[in-house]
Amino acid sequence: MRQLCKGNVAVIKGAILAGCRAYYGYPITPASEVAESAALYIPQVGGTFLQAESEVAAINMVYGAASAGLRVMSASSGPGLSLMQEGISYLAGAELPCVIVDVMRGGPGLGNIAPEQSDYFAMVKGGGHGNYRNLVVAPASVQEMADLTMLAFELADKYRNPAIVLCDGFVGQMVEPLELVDREPALPEKPWAVKGTAETRNNLVTSIFLEPDVLEEHQRQMEAKYARAQQDEPRFELYQAEDAEVLLVGYGIVSRVLRSAVVKLRLQGIRAGLFRPITLWPFPSKALAKAAARVQRVVVVELSNGQMVEDVSLALKGGSPVEFYGRVGGNVPSVEEIESKVLAHAVAV
């Protein structure tokens, strides 16, 4: 089934194909179409849509539905995600799978409703308290808004952990062709869930472990699964990177500008290449280190003041010089800007 679709709508189409049947949220620009699509489509497949009193209420409803074994999601933008940080920490601590979409807008505070990528730290490094990690995927097209949402549900269940779809307002708002294959979702068994049945009566979903040794053991197990994810799940895309002397690094909408810049720069005889992280956590550090091994310059471009650039630096461990170019406030760099300014003015970090 091929159709023209908006990014925020594609999220819900993907979610439904992934078997998601419960959505709890609170609307906010530029993520509101996610909620609207959920309200329209999820009841049509027998699911529940509920607009809660607040983001705090919504994320705790997600906790409840996830405890019962449902595939469940929410969506918001920066301010709403900040309000959900406690709940996300609880979900991670209780090892509950769920998908949360962050359609990033300009910040901090109220900021504006234009696209940014400034929630990278908040979602990738962990905004909530305690030792946990979010699984984070970063779509760069309407097709990926659906596909990576489906992947997010798979990863969330596989690792029993919240998975974040981190996209900028640009990708959320744009309209592109979307190809979906209708299929029955293969939902995993969740013997740990609390389903109101006799068999699950003694299941306990909790994030409280009062004894230090017990909590430490719980965290060690979480660490072990995070290590597995770091081994198995990094995803990325390379474009003309093999012989590159300048490696551009960017995710989401930025990666599309960078791809065009690679083409233009090559026409000028500059051997540019692109490295696009698809998973932001686990970050594709090894692949990046390999791709950057022979380049002269690594230029990271973000719609932020510089956040992912830290993970790039950590990945390269001083092996290659890392430069950064950022635009904020809703401004997206043009191809020409990358061409001229980036290469001239990117700042060493």
Tell me which residues in 91-120 interact with a second copy (CB under 8 A): 91-94, 104, 106-114, 116, 118-119
DSSP 101: E
Of the residues 3, 175, 179, 208, which one makes contact with a second copy according to CB under 8 A:
208
Of the residues 182, 184, 213, 243, which one makes contact with a second copy according to CB under 8 A:
213
Is residue 60 within the footprint of a second copy (CB under 8 A)? yes
In contact, 311 and 151? CB cutoff 8 Å: no
Is residue 215 within the footprint of a second copy (CB under 8 A)? yes
Beta carbon nearer to a second copy, 138 or 274 = 138
Residues of 53-92 as b/e, b for ≥16 C-beta within 10 angstroms? eebebbbbbbbebbbbbbbbbbbbbbbbbbbbbebbbbbb
Count other Cβ atoms within 10 Å, centred on residue 110. Answer: 10
Beta carbon nearer to a second copy, 19 or 115 = 115
Q: Would you call the peptide bond into 282 cis, given omega within 30 degrees of 0 as the criterion?
A: yes
> Least distance from C-beta 230 to a second copy, angstroms?
12
In contact, 32 and 24? CB cutoff 8 Å: no
Sign of the dihedral defined by the CA atoms of residues 196, 200, 205, 210, in that order: positive
Beta carbon nearer to a second copy, 80 or 273 = 80
29-35-40-43 Cα dihedral, nearest 10 degrees: -170
Of the residues 27, 127, 185, 188, which one makes contact with a second copy according to CB under 8 A:
127
Beta carbon nearer to a second copy, 118 or 143 = 118
Of the residues 3, 206, 231, 296, which one makes contact with a second copy according to CB under 8 A:
206
What strand order describes the sheet that includes 72-76? 48-51, 22-25, 72-76, 98-104, 162-168, 135-137, 279-281
Q: Which of residues 173-202 bind a second copy (CB under 8 A)?
A: 196
> Least distance from C-beta 248 to a second copy, angstroms?
21
**Which of the ranges 48-56, 135-143, 230-238, 266-274 carries the binding residues for a second copy, by CB under 8 A?**
48-56
**Which of the ranges 4-12, 60-68, 139-147, 278-286 carries the binding residues for a second copy, by CB under 8 A?**
60-68
> Least distance from C-beta 74 to a second copy, angstroms?
14
Q: Which of residues 305-324 bind a second copy (CB under 8 A)?
A: 305, 307, 310, 313-314, 316-319
DSSP annotation string for 284-316: -HHHHHHHTTT-SEEEEEESSSSSHHHHHHHHH
- Enumerate the β-bridge partners of residue 48: 22
- Enumerate the β-bridge partners of residue 179: 2
Q: At a CB cut-off of 8 Å and minimum separation 6, what does 95 contact?
A: 160, 161, 222
Is residue 121 within the footprint of a second copy (CB under 8 A)? yes
Beta carbon nearer to a second copy, 53 or 243 = 53
> Least distance from C-beta 42 to a second copy, angstroms?
11
Q: Could you tell me how many residues of this chain bind a second copy (CB under 8 A)?
A: 84
